[in-house]
A and B are shown apart, each in its own frame.
Chain A
Amino acid sequence: MDSKRQAGSLLLLLLMSNLLLCKNVASEPICPNRSGCQVSLRELFDRAIILSHYIHSLSSEIFQEFDAQYSQGPGFFTQAISMCHTASISTPAGKEQAQQIQQKDFVILVIHLLGSWTKPLSHLITEARRLPKAPDALIAKATEIQEQNQRLLEGLKKIGKLVDPEIIDNGNYAVWLGLPSLQSNDLQSLLFAYHNLFRCLRRDTHKVDNYLKFLKCQIAYDGSC
């Protein structure tokens, strides 16, 4: 009798946990009640994608122009590679990995990624005047990136609210500690620091652009663009 009861309660327990688990695993529908939500999500994503595409184009330009202007030989900057400060934010490295992430978590991820660049960009703009060869175009582009980044952040927060009304942004941005390297007196280390900064900026903006285009299809078009 006892074994049967135990088995039955165990079964019940399993069943309950299964139900709970199933509920957890299954993704909650986006925009359950509000009718205009789906449409506004598409529009918000479209606008966000325009911004992210533009930001990445600017970052690519900065990277290539800096290399062209300040390189002192082929392969000069290969030694400059070091870890980006946003490496602490774990990001999907492929489509399969991206499909594994919850949509609302994905949005938070993108927001964190973007938000981690606010401070480095502002420091870059002020410190870049130390660069030797009239970096005015560079500074202008960096300023533009900074502006557009802020706008994209605001848009993403709106998207986040639509995707998950209870979204919480804990402000867990990656910390950037590269300021001293931007103020270095050694020209080579200075150039290396800038090169790395631009490389990481190009990468992260590419990630954001990629993720948003992916999320648009996943969230606003139900997985099939």
Chain B
Amino acid sequence: MKENVTSTMVFILLLFLNIRLLNGESPPGKPIISKCRSPEKETFTCWWKPGTNGGLPTNYTLTYYKEGENIIYECPDYNTSGPNSCYFNKKYTNLWTIYVIRVNATNNMGSNASDPRFVDVAYIVEPNPPQNISLEVKQPEDRKPYLWIKWFPPALVDITSGWLILQYEVRLKPENAAEWEVHFAGQQTHFKILSLYPGQKYFVQARCKPDHGFWSKWSPVTSIEIPSDINMSDTTMWIFVAILSAVICLVMVWAVALKSYSMMTCIFPPVPGPKIKGFDSHLLERGKTEELLGAFGCQDFPPTSDSEDLLVEFLEVDDSEDQQLMPAFSKEYPGQPVKSRRLDLDNDSGHGSCDSPSFLSEKCEGPWANPPTFHTPEVIKKLENLEANITCTWDPQTKSTKDKILYFHANGFRSSTWPLPQPTQHNPRSPYHSIAEVCKLAEDPRAALATVLHKASKDALKSSKTTETGEEKKAVEQMEVESFTSKTGQDTAWMLPQENASFISAKPLDYVEIHKVNKDGALSLTPKQKESIDQTEKPRTLEIIKEYAKVARVMENNILVLMPDPRAQNIALFEESAKAAPLSFQQNQAEKDMACFPTTPSNFRLQQDRLDYLDPASFMHSFHG
């Protein structure tokens, strides 16, 4: 019986419990305080989340105590902030004080308390969003249109007292855009948006934040339609800019076109290439020297011995103090080298600046109105052809103190007349003439030499005429060694080739002493000793014959005293004179011109037996060495 009662009791008890459990009643679950916030740093609210209520009506109470106090208070206001909240008004809010808050859930079954939450109101400030956002599209004159956004601070915040400082942020996006465009607005309550797409609908939102606190939520969206007809770009300004730049471009193009040539020449000055008139590079490639030299006007190089026409006329060196050198012509000595001499031209017959072989100045043309009946023109023309084509390092144009030697190639001139220097028409090309002359002489002794169209030479001829022995057929080929003083400043080595013309048969030439250089720049030579001179067919006028003559000394006034070279007796005189002149030149400051002799001397085929020093190789060496 007892056992029955006990078991029944137990059974009933269990049933009771089961029934209660089946009913779902239990003590409440633990509430959780979710959030405590102060909207204006003057009040605050705490919200909690209830746990399970255990199936029974549960009562929630919030209790708190403040830092440093032992009194427990209960929430003064459960309603203002909604369900499951506790609102602390200004009276109950103390900043910079820690509140320890707990929520108790109580039901018939029991109670449950949340974990304590430590709250310092000063650090939980989160304002409400800004309110009354207004949007307006403004289009001021002469300026770009923009979107003007204006708002007001949240209702509860007291801005004017300075107790709470707010900072704002706005964001906007076109209707179909994916991302917002966010702008920080600082403490101002307006904002200007300049980048807009016309015809679009824009959404705008704003939010705010205290100086030390949390951002508010975004305000509700306000929208605005941007009118399609607004003018977003300053088209008038850009049109003006475009027109102005087009005009400027046109003006510049026109100016460039006008002066294109001069500009091009200014920027890219034409580089003169080496060119020899009449020079056909193709001929050179083919290797036909005869044709090549024919282009130069040189003929029949090497000169043949049986050139009766090509009688080298030698200059007769007069040993008078007048320093008049007379070309001595001798038919017996074809190909004798022409002695270079300096003509002392006291006669002023227009020497002056026209002494310079490179007669570029027109003023020299006057006196040369009447060219002598000389064949020089032809030769000279050919010489002219050689102008720029001679690979000559010598610059005929160079001014200043370069002494030039005019070499007269006396190759048996036949002409009865003195070769007179052509008038100035050739003078400007005198530097080249010498080259041509050399060429001519080298190639064709008969072709002889054109006279250097030189005033000085003319005078020399004149003077030589006077002193001439009166030989017939004297084509005075003046080897004029001209030393140009600095005042003329021009250097040329002159040759006076005379084409088919009178060759001056020169008498045996003597050693020449360079007596003096007169004011006109002519070097006067005086024969030092008489020697037999072999006449070479070719004038080796251009040879800087350092090897064959020796300069004894240089006297003052640029007088070169030459010593005969025993080895080169034949043309020693010539050589020396020729050499003397260059040497004197060199002594007298000429450096280049000697090296400037044309390459044609290389073509000289001087006969070895007589003119060992006229070996072209030596020419080459002397010229190019």
Say yes or no: B163 contacts A95, CB within 8 Å.
Answer: yes
For chain A, residues 35 to 86, give those with C-beta under 8 angstroms from any C-beta of chain B.
Answer: 53, 56-57, 60, 78, 81, 83
Measured between alpha carbons, how far is A95 from B159 in the docked complex, in Å? 12
Residue A210 lies at the interface, judged by CB distance under 8 Å to chain B: yes
Stretch at the interface among B88-96, B234-242, B369-377: B88-96
Enumerate chain A residues within 8 angstroms of B95, measured Cβ to Cβ: 93-94, 210
Measured between alpha carbons, how far is A166 from B158 in the docked complex, in Å? 32
Contact check: which of A94, A99, A203 meets B94 at CB < 8 Å? A94
Say yes or no: A217 contacts B162, CB within 8 Å.
Answer: yes
Say yes or no: A209 contacts B212, CB within 8 Å.
Answer: yes
Say yes or no: B165 contacts A213, CB within 8 Å.
Answer: yes
Say yes or no: B212 contacts A56, CB within 8 Å.
Answer: yes
Residue B443 lies at the interface, judged by CB distance under 8 Å to chain A: no
Say yes or no: B160 contacts A223, CB within 8 Å.
Answer: yes
Measured between alpha carbons, how far is A24 from B163 in the docked complex, in Å? 26
B210 to chain A, nearest CB (A): 10
Measured between alpha carbons, how far is A98 from B163 in the docked complex, in Å? 9
Say yes or no: B163 contacts A83, CB within 8 Å.
Answer: no
- Residues 214-225 of A, flagged 1 when their CB comes within 8 A of B and 0 if not, give 111110010111
Say yes or no: A81 contacts B90, CB within 8 Å.
Answer: no
Say yes or no: A214 contacts B212, CB within 8 Å.
Answer: no
Say yes or no: A207 contacts B96, CB within 8 Å.
Answer: yes
Report if A223-B161 is in contact (Cβ < 8 Å); known contacts: A56-B212, A81-B67, A203-B122. yes
Say yes or no: A213 contacts B90, CB within 8 Å.
Answer: no
Measured between alpha carbons, how far is A225 from B159 in the docked complex, in Å? 7
Say yes or no: B211 contacts A53, CB within 8 Å.
Answer: yes
Report if A94-B42 is in contact (Cβ < 8 Å); known contacts: A60-B212, A203-B96, A206-B96. yes
Q: How many residues of B contact A (CB 8 A)?
A: 25
Contact check: which of B96, B158, B162 meets A213 at CB < 8 Å? B162
Report if A95-B158 is in contact (Cβ < 8 Å); known contacts: A60-B212, A203-B120, A213-B165. yes
A100 to chain B, nearest CB (A): 13
Say yes or no: A93 contacts B97, CB within 8 Å.
Answer: yes
B64 to chain A, nearest CB (A): 15
Contact check: which of A78, A99, A209 meets B118 at CB < 8 Å? A78
Enumerate chain B residues within 8 angstroms of A96, measured Cβ to Cβ: 90
Enumerate chain B residues within 8 angstroms of A91, measured Cβ to Cβ: 96
Enumerate chain B residues within 8 angstroms of A210, measured Cβ to Cβ: 95, 122, 163
B152 to chain A, nearest CB (A): 15
- Residues 152-180 of B, flagged 1 when their CB comes within 8 A of A and 0 if not, give 00000011111101000000000000000
- Residues 91-131 of A, flagged 1 when their CB comes within 8 A of B and 0 if not, give 10111101100000000000000000000000000000000
Say yes or no: B212 contacts A94, CB within 8 Å.
Answer: no
Question: How many residues of A sit at the interface, in one of the four size bands?
Answer: 20 to 34
Say yes or no: B161 contacts A95, CB within 8 Å.
Answer: yes
A204 to chain B, nearest CB (A): 8
B188 to chain A, nearest CB (A): 13
For chain B, residues 271 to 289, give those with C-beta under 8 angstroms from any C-beta of chain A.
Answer: none
By CB atoms of chain B within 10 A, which of A60, A94, A214, A218 has the most?
Answer: A94
Measured between alpha carbons, how far is A81 from B98 in the docked complex, in Å? 9
Measured between alpha carbons, how far is A94 from B162 in the docked complex, in Å? 12
A202 to chain B, nearest CB (A): 9
By CB atoms of chain A within 10 A, which of B42, B96, B97 has the most?
Answer: B96
For chain A, residues 7 to 25, give those with C-beta under 8 angstroms from any C-beta of chain B.
Answer: none
For chain B, residues 102 to 124, give those with C-beta under 8 angstroms from any C-beta of chain A.
Answer: 116, 118, 120, 122-123
Residue B68 lies at the interface, judged by CB distance under 8 Å to chain A: yes
B167 to chain A, nearest CB (A): 12
Enumerate chain B residues within 8 angstroms of A223, measured Cβ to Cβ: 160-161
Measured between alpha carbons, how far is A224 from B163 in the docked complex, in Å? 11
Enumerate chain B residues within 8 angstroms of A207, measured Cβ to Cβ: 96
Enumerate chain A residues within 8 angstroms of B212, measured Cβ to Cβ: 56-57, 60, 206, 209
Measured between alpha carbons, how far is A24 from B138 in the docked complex, in Å? 53
Say yes or no: A217 contacts B160, CB within 8 Å.
Answer: yes
Measured between alpha carbons, how far is A93 from B158 in the docked complex, in Å? 16
A223 to chain B, nearest CB (A): 7
Question: What is the chain B residue whose CB lies nearest that of A87?
Answer: B68
Question: What is the chain B residue whose CB lies nearest that of A219?
Answer: B162
- Residues 65-101 of B, flagged 1 when their CB comes within 8 A of A and 0 if not, give 0011000000000000000000000100111111000
Enumerate chain A residues within 8 angstroms of B94, measured Cβ to Cβ: 93-94
Report if A218-B96 is in contact (Cβ < 8 Å); known contacts: A94-B42, A203-B122. no
Say yes or no: A225 contacts B160, CB within 8 Å.
Answer: yes
A212 to chain B, nearest CB (A): 9
Measured between alpha carbons, how far is A87 from B163 in the docked complex, in Å? 21
Say yes or no: A224 contacts B160, CB within 8 Å.
Answer: yes
Measured between alpha carbons, how far is A215 from B118 in the docked complex, in Å? 29
Question: What is the chain B residue whose CB lies nearest that of A96?
Answer: B90
B613 to chain A, nearest CB (A): 97
Say yes or no: B90 contacts A218, CB within 8 Å.
Answer: no
Enumerate chain A residues within 8 angstroms of B122, measured Cβ to Cβ: 203, 206, 210
Question: What is the chain A residue whose CB lies nearest that of B123?
Answer: A206
Question: What is the chain A residue whose CB lies nearest that of B162?
Answer: A217
Question: What is the chain B residue whose CB lies nearest that of A225?
Answer: B162
Say yes or no: A216 contacts B162, CB within 8 Å.
Answer: yes
Enumerate chain B residues within 8 angstroms of A214, measured Cβ to Cβ: 161-163
Question: What is the chain A residue whose CB lies nearest that of B118?
Answer: A78
Say yes or no: B96 contacts A93, CB within 8 Å.
Answer: yes
Say yes or no: B211 contacts A213, CB within 8 Å.
Answer: yes
Contact check: which of A57, A83, A206, A216 meets B68 at CB < 8 Å? A83
Say yes or no: A94 contacts B90, CB within 8 Å.
Answer: yes
Measured between alpha carbons, how far is A83 from B95 in the docked complex, in Å? 15
Measured between alpha carbons, how far is A56 from B210 in the docked complex, in Å? 14
Question: What is the chain B residue whose CB lies nearest that of A203?
Answer: B96
By CB atoms of chain A within 10 A, which of B41, B67, B120, B162 has the most?
Answer: B162
Say yes or no: A94 contacts B211, CB within 8 Å.
Answer: no
Question: What is the chain A residue whose CB lies nearest that of B163?
Answer: A95
Measured between alpha carbons, how far is A81 from B97 in the docked complex, in Å? 11
Question: What is the chain A residue whose CB lies nearest that of B116?
Answer: A78
By CB atoms of chain A within 10 A, which of B42, B123, B158, B161 has the most?
Answer: B161
For chain B, residues 379 to 433, give those with C-beta under 8 angstroms from any C-beta of chain A.
Answer: none
For chain B, residues 142 to 159, give those with C-beta under 8 angstroms from any C-beta of chain A.
Answer: 158-159
Measured between alpha carbons, how far is A99 from B158 in the docked complex, in Å? 13
Measured between alpha carbons, how far is A81 from B42 in the docked complex, in Å? 24
Sample (8) of A-B pairs whose CB atoms are under 8 Å apart: A83-B67, A93-B94, A95-B161, A95-B163, A210-B95, A213-B163, A214-B161, A225-B161
Residue numbers of A with Cβ under 8 A of B are 53, 56-57, 60, 78, 81, 83, 87, 91, 93-96, 98-99, 203, 206-207, 209-210, 213-218, 221, 223-225
7 shortest interchain CB distances as A-B pairs: A217-B162, A93-B94, A224-B160, A95-B163, A214-B162, A225-B162, A93-B95
20 more contacts with CB within 8 A, not counting A56-B212, A95-B42, A221-B162, are A60-B212, A78-B118, A81-B67, A81-B98, A83-B68, A87-B68, A94-B95, A96-B90, A99-B161, A206-B212, A209-B212, A214-B161, A214-B162, A215-B162, A217-B160, A217-B161, A218-B162, A223-B161, A225-B159, A225-B162
Residue numbers of B with Cβ under 8 A of A are 41-42, 67-68, 90, 93-98, 116, 118, 120, 122-123, 158-163, 165, 211-212
